[in-house]
């Protein structure tokens, strides 16, 4: 038992290394963005606009794999000849559905913007809605990338998808730097969507994946476009609770930016910088463990003889995640002031901006521990296919956190509301 656990943890280290490089590139992006745009209105508008599209993309990345991998894994075992066809049929069906949802969201962007940011005025709300419209079309691309990533996870090739995300973040940074002199803040809108194309390029298996029965992606046969309603509904029923659970638990960015809209211009930038530092450092410390834990638990729970092994693995993983997240959260709070003054001050981001940012760091230490460890705690529930229970818990925690935060905001101001709301959440 211990040798298997040690082997899994050792493999998780290599996955974590990729995510560490990923986090470093995201940190470089934050430095570049902060220096180029500063704590100004343009960046406030973009941060408000990108909050929900980012939540959508991260929800797809985090949940579609968990919902589809067990189903696809069973398909490969029971019907290996048609597994690849099923993969691409699911891909085309979900892309079509997500594109339709993106079109609908275009009509809802203005009401959503008004509901979240009305305190900033009509001009701010309208500008946010316009940028949001374009970024909703990242959803179909995120689905393509995730489904292709599942193909590699099912083959125990855990490195391809993280590497594709690494390439995507690198191209995102490059596009912002190159396009900013030409189109300003819209370089970030363009890069947000376009970097997903580069991820898909890395993930697409080309010659390694061929469709059975002489089907090909460029064929004029419409079989792949024909919805298999029973299979699609099975996936959607298992996926929807995960969407609710993840989006409810990880909508802290929307929560923070909605509350920050009541603060002066620049506070969205300050709070975004803090959130990025804490979520990147604590998240990357345990992401390798999360990626490898679910496939092993699915395998162990399928055989009653392996249940003791699964319980041991879960308990050790939870303990490691909590310890690592706590250590990383406090280390981040201690070194963040040095990094902010050393790396972020310059260009349009002043020393005063840095001072305000540093003063708010303690507000996020306790939430950061949860951001680093929640994924590991969720994996056993997902492996047991109890996603509905997870959705209920996360939705209730969202409602309670937002309610308490709103009450505290009315009594003690937005910053106190953000801090207490996140802790209760």
The CA distance from 239 to 228, in Å, is 16
Q: Is residue 30 a part of any domain in this protein?
A: no
Domain count, the chain: 1
Half-sphere exposure (CA, 13 Å, Cβ side) for 234? 14
Instruction: Give residue 101's pLDDT.
Output: 92
Q: Is residue 187 a part of any domain in this protein?
A: yes
**Residue 191 tokens, joined:** 């890069």
The CA distance from 126 to 380, in Å, is 43
Q: Is residue 25 a part of any domain in this protein?
A: no
Q: Which residues contact 168 (CB under 8 A, 6 or more apart)?
A: 195, 196, 198, 199
The CA distance from 20 to 316, in Å, is 22
Q: DSSP 3-state helix, strand, coil percentages of the chain (rounded to 5)?
A: 85, 0, 15
Neighbours of 226 (CB within 10 A): 11
> 203, 149 in Cβ contact below 8 A?
yes
Instruction: Give residue 99's pLDDT.
Output: 92
**Residue 147 tokens, joined:** 């489904």
pLDDT per residue as tens, the chain (425 positions): 555 555 555 665 666 677 778 778 887 888 888 888 887 888 889 988 988 998 888 888 878 887 888 778 777 777 777 777 888 888 888 898 899 999 999 899 999 999 888 888 889 999 999 999 999 999 999 999 988 888 887 777 777 888 888 888 899 899 999 998 999 889 999 998 888 988 898 887 655 554 444 444 444 444 444 546 777 788 888 788 888 877 877 787 888 888 888 888 888 888 888 888 888 788 777 777 776 776 677 777 767 777 777 777 778 888 888 888 899 889 989 988 888 888 787 777 888 888 888 988 888 888 888 888 877 777 777 777 777 777 788 888 888 888 988 899 888 888 888 888 888 77
Q: Is residue 23 a part of any domain in this protein?
A: no
Q: Is residue 390 a part of any domain in this protein?
A: no
Query: Which domain covers residue 199, as residue numbers?
Result: 41-216
The CA distance from 108 to 387, in Å, is 28
> 56, 138 in Cβ contact below 8 A?
yes
The CA distance from 81 to 71, in Å, is 15
The CA distance from 163 to 22, in Å, is 8
Query: Which residue in 248, 229, 237, 67 sits closest to 146, CA to CA?
Result: 67
Q: What are phi and psi of 346, to 5 degrees?
A: 145, 160
Q: Is residue 354 a part of any domain in this protein?
A: no
The CA distance from 418 to 271, in Å, is 10
Q: Is residue 134 a part of any domain in this protein?
A: yes
Neighbours of 97 (CB within 10 A): 16
The H or E element containing residue 63 is helix 41-78
The CA distance from 234 to 67, in Å, is 10
**Residue 307 tokens, joined:** 């249940």
> 69, 294 in Cβ contact below 8 A?
yes
> 174, 159 in Cβ contact below 8 A?
no
Residues 333-350 pLDDT 10s: 998 888 888 878 777 788
**Residue 189 tokens, joined:** 């809108």
Instruction: Give residue 131's pLDDT.
Output: 92
> 369, 322 in Cβ contact below 8 A?
yes
Residues 130-176 pLDDT 10s: 999 999 999 999 999 988 888 887 777 777 888 888 888 899 899 99
The CA distance from 58 to 143, in Å, is 11
Q: Is residue 382 a part of any domain in this protein?
A: no
3-class DSSP state of 381: helix
């Amino acid at each position: 038992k211990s040798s298997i656990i040690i082997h899994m943890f050792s493999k998780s280290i290599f996955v974590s290394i990729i995510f560490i490089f990923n986090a470093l590139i995201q940190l470089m992006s934050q430095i570049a963005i902060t220096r180029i745009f500063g704590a100004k209105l343009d960046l406030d508008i973009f941060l408000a606009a990108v909050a929900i599209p980012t939540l959508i993309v991260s929800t797809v990345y985090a949940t579609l794999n968990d919902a589809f991998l067990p189903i696809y894994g069973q398909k490969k075992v029971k019907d290996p000849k048609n597994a690849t066809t099923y993969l691409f049929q699911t891909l085309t069906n979900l892309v079509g559905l997500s594109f339709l949802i993106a079109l609908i969201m275009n009509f809802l962007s203005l009401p959503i913007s008004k509901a979240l940011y009305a305190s900033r005025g009509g001009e701010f709300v309208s500008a946010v809605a316009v940028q949001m419209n374009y970024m909703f079309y990242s959803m179909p691309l995120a689905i393509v990338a995730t489904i292709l990533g599942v193909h590699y996870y099912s083959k125990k090739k855990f490195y391809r998808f993280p590497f594709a995300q690494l390439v995507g973040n690198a191209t995102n940074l490059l596009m912002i730097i190159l396009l900013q002199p030409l189109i300003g803040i819209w370089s970030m809108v363009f890069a947000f969507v376009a970097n997903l194309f580069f991820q898909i390029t890395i993930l697409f298996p080309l010659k390694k994946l061929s469709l059975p029965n002489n089907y090909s992606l460029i064929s004029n046969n419409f079989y792949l476009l024909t919805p298999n309603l029973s299979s699609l509904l099975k996936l959607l029923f298992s996926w929807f609770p995960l969407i609710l659970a993840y989006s409810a638990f990880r909508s802290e960015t929307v929560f923070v930016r909605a509350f920050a809209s009541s603060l002066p211009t620049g506070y969205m930038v300050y709070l975004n910088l803090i959130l990025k530092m804490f979520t990147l450092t604590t998240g990357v410390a345990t992401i390798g463990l999360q990626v490898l834990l679910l496939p092993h638990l699915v395998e162990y729970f399928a055989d009653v003889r392996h249940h003791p092994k699964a319980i041991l693995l879960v308990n050790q993983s939870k303990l490691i995640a909590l310890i690592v997240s706590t250590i990383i959260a406090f280390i981040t709070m201690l070194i963040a002031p040095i990094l902010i003054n050393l790396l972020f001050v310059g260009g349009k981001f002043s020393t005063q901006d840095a001072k305000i940012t540093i003063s708010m760091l303690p507000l996020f230490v306790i939430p950061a521990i949860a951001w680093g460890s929640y994924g590991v705690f969720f994996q056993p529930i997902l492996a047991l296919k109890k996603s509905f229970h997870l959705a209920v818990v996360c939705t209730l925690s969202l409602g309670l956190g937002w309610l308490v935060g709103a009450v505290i905001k009315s009594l003690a101001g937005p910053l106190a509301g953000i801090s207490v709301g996140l802790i209760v959440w």
